[in-house]
């Protein structure tokens, strides 16, 4: 582990900025979802009404958890089909200056599932596969809707926890529309223009051919990048316009844009935690959960920084200088394979930590080339359930399930019926919470095992030794958790070969499971809790708004995560680390 | 209109079920009385369809699902990107069109996208792992070689040998900056580290018949610092540096009295038509 003063400063300043953003965004979320006036009513209120009218929806009528969930599923289903269709006929549609052909059927299906579930796993390279129209109408719009769906599900779950003796959790159509119009679009408009200012292009021109001073020709792709980049980060989607994602200078041109991209990943998830506290009537409830997230985030960020800054001893042995040379400002040092110069180590490892703590999955450096421990942090972040701020919405509802598990365990310790926010946690709630917690690791691990014992699964592995195991484990963890980042050496992109078929089919399946099979039990849980009345707090009530609860919550998360995944880590990154420091290569 | 029919049917079924379940569940009015201020206002009628069969609920929700999909696709997939593009083109036309640098009316580079350099008189960028050739901006990517992959070791070893061969005047024992022998993430990284630039100064100065002090000054003038002194890394943009060098050499050739002050004009000078591209 090696730490530079600057690397540490980057993490701390970033965290301070996040803290500043949390409360204002949380309060704004309250305005959006509790239907208070926002600044944008004069512009968007007529649009909002028109949508309800066209949908035949009465905006004052709320729904129970079943109607809310079924509405969500139907909406996602319709969007998935529309995206599939656009991909399949893109060559016949306008805005295709690079002449992209129709997308392969299986790849279209995988991509449709991927963008619908907010995963944005990409078995293709954007600049060689998708037309501008597909990027814009197909992919960018899914970045919005999948983010909005995640957010409104979290809002419904919070309502279930905080309302008393009610059937209704809100109206899905109203929440969805308001989230898109009042939250996502206004922020993205400003954000996209900021990105353009920094250098992100936004145009419909064809790819530009330049001839360098030495006479080399280079074809530079263009497109409506900035508008998609904004929602890609803000909605924790992560699907890059270009193959190199946020490492590509056109997606992330400067350290400034990189900072804002990282902040925008965490902004809404952190704001939602404050929103939760506000709705419980005790903001300390929110801050207790926020603190647990903050600690898990900071620990991960520091370990990733230390591991990558230390560099690869096998390269040092060849005579490469990986020391930071910090005070001369001459070079960042560290493990620079697969990293960009403008980001160096600090801005790369912080980005990698943030993108996997949340379910974003955008990358600004290739995780496959990280040192074993540096690359293990993103893996662990995802496998803990992406609850460290987490995906927009999914992070909060995932964390609340852990909160329920934590009070249950505390209840077992003192022999008392557990309560959370005054609601009794009983058999049904525990069944649903356990189901939600177990579904993700069960699918991640069993499909990793499948990948490791079948020929098409193994054939895709790019790096030998334990690193290969990590590639497959990372892939299924990322897809099940709806992250979308990758140990991208894994060869899943050659259309037609057996690995392509294997990973596209299994991938689409586990992404859908990871999104919907996870959220349905949680919605059932929210519906059940909403019906309960509140028990007044007594002397034996375990307080969930203080440091003791924060500590217990972290303990529960780590125990569940470690018990589930430690054997896999031991076979992958941990053994690889030992091999790396002992000079073994494959 | 046919579209209003499902909604009406749904509302009748809803009222019937409200009556049927009124004993089982707390009625909305009492619920709202006991509720905290966080619940929505009392005029709202909750949609109590707990007992509604699954298929009927799905059918009822199908219309809003389809309409909302189309409406939101229109707003977020067409209107929003077009508004962004219109504003971007009006306010930041250069960036919105790719930050392309033109020399003599011809595009020679984007200031954000690295190019492939081979001649001794130019500074070279970082290794690129794009396919089929290096610095392919239309097929970006990194090597994805893992830290214990023997191919990584072998590649780095070859790069070190090539680097030493290209730069024979570098004093032996000078440490090799890591960015010069590792592939970037995008494959089109426009920057190198300050150490990476300094390492190449003896070669570039010799090829251009300039003193190392002059080249060092030009390099120093092109160091971009961290954002707010904290974020990112100090770096040198290779394309801009090489253009400034060409401009300096050009001026130097025109007047043998060129002082170091001339490099201040370098950014302007690069717009002049003379460049190596015409060779």
Which pLDDT value is given to residue A551? 97
Lowest model confidence (mean pLDDT) among A20-34, A485-499, B137-151, B218-232: A485-499
> A383-400, pLDDT tens digit by residue?
999 999 999 999 999 999
Say which of A78, A319, A368 has its CB closest to residue B65. Answer: A78
pLDDT confidence band for B80 (50 / 70 / 90) = very high
Greater confidence (A555 vs B52) lies with A555
Give the per-residue pLDDT at B44. Answer: 45
* Chain B residues with beta carbon closer than 8 angstroms to that of A315: 152-153, 156, 178, 181-182
Residue A214 domain-assigned? Answer: no
Lowest average pLDDT, out of A171-180, A536-545, B154-163, goes to: A536-545
Q: How many Å apart are CA A258 and CA B233, to the nearest integer?
A: 12
A344 touches chain B (CB under 8 A): yes
User: What's the gap in Å between the CA of B152 and the closest CA on chain A?
Assistant: 9
* Calpha distance B64→A172 (Å, rounded): 10
User: Looking at residues A78-98, what average pLDDT do you find?
Assistant: 95
Judging by beta carbons within 10 Å of its beta carbon (0-12, 13-18, 19+), is residue A374 exposed, middle or buried? buried
Residue A277 lies in a domain: yes
Domain span including residue A132: 22-207+220-281
Nearest residue in chain B measured CA to CA from A221: B138
* Predicted local confidence at residue B31, as pLDDT: 40
Report the half-sphere exposure of A565 (CA within 13 A, side-chain side): 31
- What would the mean pLDDT of B85-90 be, rounded to a whole number? 98
For A203-212, what is the mean pLDDT? Answer: 95
- Residues B134-163, mean pLDDT to the nearest whole number: 96
| Assigned token pair, B61 | 């929700």
Percent share of chain A, pLDDT over 90 = 92
Once rounded to an integer, what is the mean pLDDT over residues A401-407? 96
* Residue of B110, B114, B141 whose CA lies nearest to A207: B110
For B120, which residue in chain A has the nearest alpha carbon? A214
Whether A337 is covered by a domain: the verdict is: no
Q: Is the pLDDT of residue B256 over 80?
A: no
- Give the residue, A94 or A328, on which the prediction is more confident: A94
Whether the CB of A34 is below 8 Å from some CB of chain B: the reply is: yes
* Mean pLDDT on A130-144: 95
Q: Which of A101, A532, A15, A96 is nearest to A299 (CA)?
A: A15
In this predicted structure, the answer to whether residue B23 has a pLDDT above a threshold of 50 is: no
- Count of pairs with CB atoms under 8 A, one residue in A, one in B: 510
pLDDT tens column, A246-270: 999 999 999 999 999 999 999 999 9
Q: Is A112 part of any domain?
A: yes
Predicted confidence at residue B266, as pLDDT, reads: 41
Q: Is residue A562 part of a domain?
A: no
| Chain B residue whose CA is closest to A73 | B65
- Looking at every residue in chain A, the average pLDDT score rounds to 95
H/E stretch holding A217: strand A217-220
Q: Is residue A381 part of a domain?
A: no
pLDDT tens profile B163-182: 999 999 998 888 899 999 99
A248 within some domain = yes
ipTM score for this prediction: 0.94
Whole-angstrom distance, CA of residue B32 vs CA of residue B40: 8
How far away is chain B from the Cα of A537, in angstroms, using its nearest Cα?
16
Residue B275: the pLDDT is 34
Beta bridge partners of B103: B106
Banded model confidence at residue A326, pLDDT cuts 50, 70, 90: low
Chain B residue with CA closest to A282: the answer is B38
Average pLDDT over residues A437-442: 94
- What's the confidence (pLDDT) of residue A540? 80
By Cβ distance, the residue of B28, B87, B140 closest to A248 is B140
pLDDT of residue B226: 94
Q: What per-residue confidence (pLDDT) applies to A35?
A: 82
Instruction: Give the pLDDT of residue B50.
Output: 57
Mean pLDDT of A7-23: 97
In angstroms, rounded to a whole number, what is the distance separating the alpha carbons of residues B97 and A221?
11
Determine the Cα–Cα distance for residues B79 and B83; give it in Å rounded to an integer.
6
Among positive and negative, which fits the CA dihedral A344, B136, A363, A192? positive
Yes or no, beta carbons of A467 and B148 under 8 Å apart = yes
Q: Is B127 exposed, middle or buried (0-12, 13-18, 19+ CB in 10 A)?
A: buried
Nearest CA to A532 out of A429, A447, A442 is that of: A429
Which residues does chain A have within 8 Å of residue B135's beta carbon, measured at their own beta carbons?
216, 218
pLDDT value for A539: 80
Q: Percent of chain A having pLDDT more than 70?
A: 99
Res. B257: pLDDT tops 60: no
> Cα separations (Å) of A489 from A291, A475, A523, B41?
35, 10, 37, 54
Task: Report residue B5's pLDDT band, with 50, 70 and 90 as the boundaries.
Answer: very low
- Show residues of chain A in contact with B4, CB under 8 Å: 56
Residue B16 pLDDT greater than 60, yes or no: no
pLDDT category of residue B52 using cuts at 50, 70 and 90: confident
Residues of B in contact with A136 (CB under 8 A): 77-78, 81
**Number of independent structural domains in chain A:** 1
Helix (H, G, I), strand (E, B) or coil at A456: helix
Residue from the list B39, B57, B138 with its beta carbon closest to the beta carbon of A70? B57
* Count of CB atoms situated within 10 Å of the CB of A566: 11
- What's the farthest any 2 CA atoms get from each other in chain A? 80
Interface test with chain A among B144, B173, B183, by most A beta carbons within 10 Å? B144
Does A342 reside within a domain?
no
* φ, ψ for residue A62, nearest 5 deg: -95, 170
Report d(CA A44, CA B105) in Å as an integer: 44
Categorize the per-residue pLDDT at B49 as very low, low, confident or very high, splitting at 50, 70 and 90. Answer: low
pLDDT of residue B35: 39
pLDDT for A380: 96
Q: Hey, which residues 481-500 in chain A have their CB within 8 Å of chain B?
A: 487-489
Q: Is the model's pLDDT at A414 over the cut of 90?
A: no
């Amino acid at each position: 582990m090696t730490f530079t003063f600057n690397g540490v400063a980057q993490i701390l300043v970033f965290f301070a900025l996040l803290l500043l953003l949390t409360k204002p965004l949380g309060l704004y979320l309250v305005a959006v979802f509790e239907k208070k006036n926002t600044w944008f009513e004069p512009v968007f209120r007529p649009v909002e009404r028109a949508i309800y009218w066209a949908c035949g929806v009465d905006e004052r009528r709320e729904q129970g958890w079943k109607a809310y969930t079924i509405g969500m599923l139907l909406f996602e289903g319709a969007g998935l089909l529309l995206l599939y269709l656009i991909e399949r006929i893109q060559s016949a549609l306008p805005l295709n200056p690079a002449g992209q052909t129709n997308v392969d059927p299986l790849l279209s299906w995988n991509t449709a599932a991927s963008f619908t579930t907010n995963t944005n796993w990409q078995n293709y390279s954007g600049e060689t596969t998708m037309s501008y129209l597909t990027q814009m109408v197909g992919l960018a719009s899914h970045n919005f809707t999948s983010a909005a769906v995640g957010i409104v599900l979290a809002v419904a779950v919070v309502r279930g926890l905080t309302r008393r003796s009610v059937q209704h959790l809100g109206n899905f159509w109203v929440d969805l529309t308001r989230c898109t119009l009042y939250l996502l679009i206004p922020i993205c408009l400003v954000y996209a223009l900021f990105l353009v200012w920094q250098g992100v292009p936004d145009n419909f021109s064809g790819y530009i051919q330049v001839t360098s001073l030495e006479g080399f020709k280079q074809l530079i792709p263009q497109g409506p990048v900035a508008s998609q980049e904004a929602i890609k980060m803000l909605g924790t989607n992560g699907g890059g316009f270009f193959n190199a994602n946020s490492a590509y200078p056109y997606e992330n041109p400067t350290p400034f844009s990189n900072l804002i991209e990282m902040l925008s990943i965490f902004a809404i998830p952190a704001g939602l935690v404050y929103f939760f506290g506000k709705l419980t009537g005790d903001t300390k409830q929110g801050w207790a959960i926020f603190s647990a997230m903050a600690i898990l985030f900071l620990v991960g960020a520091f370990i990733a920084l230390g591991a990558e800054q230390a560099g690869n001893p096998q390269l040092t042995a060849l005579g490469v200088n990986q020391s930071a040379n910090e005070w001369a400002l001459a070079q960042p040092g560290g493990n620079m394979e697969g990293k960009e110069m403008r980001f160096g180590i600090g801005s790369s490892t912080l980005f990698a930590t943030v993108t996997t703590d949340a379910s974003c999955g955008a990358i600004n450096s290739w995780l496959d080339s990280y040192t074993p421990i540096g690359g293990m942090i993103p893996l662990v972040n995802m496998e803990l359930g992406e609850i460290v701020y987490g995906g927009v919405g999914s992070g909060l509802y995932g964390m609340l399930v852990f909160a329920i598990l934590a009070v249950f365990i505390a209840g077992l310790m003192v022999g008392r019926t557990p309560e959370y926010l005054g609601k009794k946690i009983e058999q049904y709630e525990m069944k649903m919470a356990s189901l939600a917690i177990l579904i993700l690791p069960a699918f991640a691990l069993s499909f990793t095992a499948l990948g490791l014992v079948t020929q098409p699964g193994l054939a895709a592995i790019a790096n030998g030794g334990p690193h290969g195991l990590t590639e497959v484990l990372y892939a299924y963890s990322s897809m099940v958790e709806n992250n979308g980042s990758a140990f991208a050496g894994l060869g899943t992109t050659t259309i037609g070969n057996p690995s392509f078929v294997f990973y596209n089919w299994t991938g689409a399946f586990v992404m859908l499971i990871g999104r919907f099979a996870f959220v349905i039990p949680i919605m059932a849980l929210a519906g059940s809790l909403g019906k309960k009345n509140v028990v007044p707090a007594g002397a034996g009530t375990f307080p969930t708004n203080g440091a003791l609860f924060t500590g217990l919550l972290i303990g529960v998360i780590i125990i569940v995560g470690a018990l589930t995944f430690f054997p896999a880590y031991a076979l992958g990154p941990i053994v690889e680390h030992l091999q790396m420091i002992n000079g073994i290569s494959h | 209109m046919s579209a209003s029919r499902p909604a009406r049917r749904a509302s009748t079924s809803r009222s019937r079920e409200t009556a049927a379940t009124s004993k089982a569940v707390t009625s909305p009015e009492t619920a709202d009385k006991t509720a905290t201020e966080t619940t929505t206002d009392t005029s709202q009628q909750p949609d109590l369809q707990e007992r509604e069969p699954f298929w009927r609920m799905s059918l009822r929700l199908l219309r809003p699902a389809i309409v909302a999909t189309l409406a939101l696709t229109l707003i977020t997939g067409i209107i929003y990107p077009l508004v962004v593009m219109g504003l971007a083109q009006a306010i930041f036309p250069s960036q919105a069109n790719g930050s392309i640098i033109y020399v003599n009316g011809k595009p020679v580079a984007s200031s954000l996208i690295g190019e492939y350099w081979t001649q001794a008189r130019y500074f070279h960028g970082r290794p690129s792992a794009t396919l089929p050739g290096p610095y392919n901006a239309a097929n970006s990517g990194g090597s994805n070689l893992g830290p214990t992959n023997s191919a990584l070791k072998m590649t780095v070893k070859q790069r070190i040998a090539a680097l030493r061969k290209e730069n024979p005047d570098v004093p032996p024992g000078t440490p090799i900056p890591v960015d010069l022998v590792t592939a970037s993430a995008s494959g089109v990284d426009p920057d190198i580290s300050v150490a990476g630039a300094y390492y190449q100064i003896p070669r570039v100065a010799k090829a251009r018949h300039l003193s190392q002090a002059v080249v060092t000054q030009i390099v120093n003038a092109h160091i971009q610092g961290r954002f707010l002194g904290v974020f990112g890394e100090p770096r040198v943009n290779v394309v801009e540096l090489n253009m400034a060098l060409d401009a300096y050499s050009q001026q130097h050739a025109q007047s043998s009295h060129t002082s170091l002050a001339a490099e201040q004009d370098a950014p302007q000078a690069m717009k002049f038509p003379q460049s190596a591209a015409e060779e």
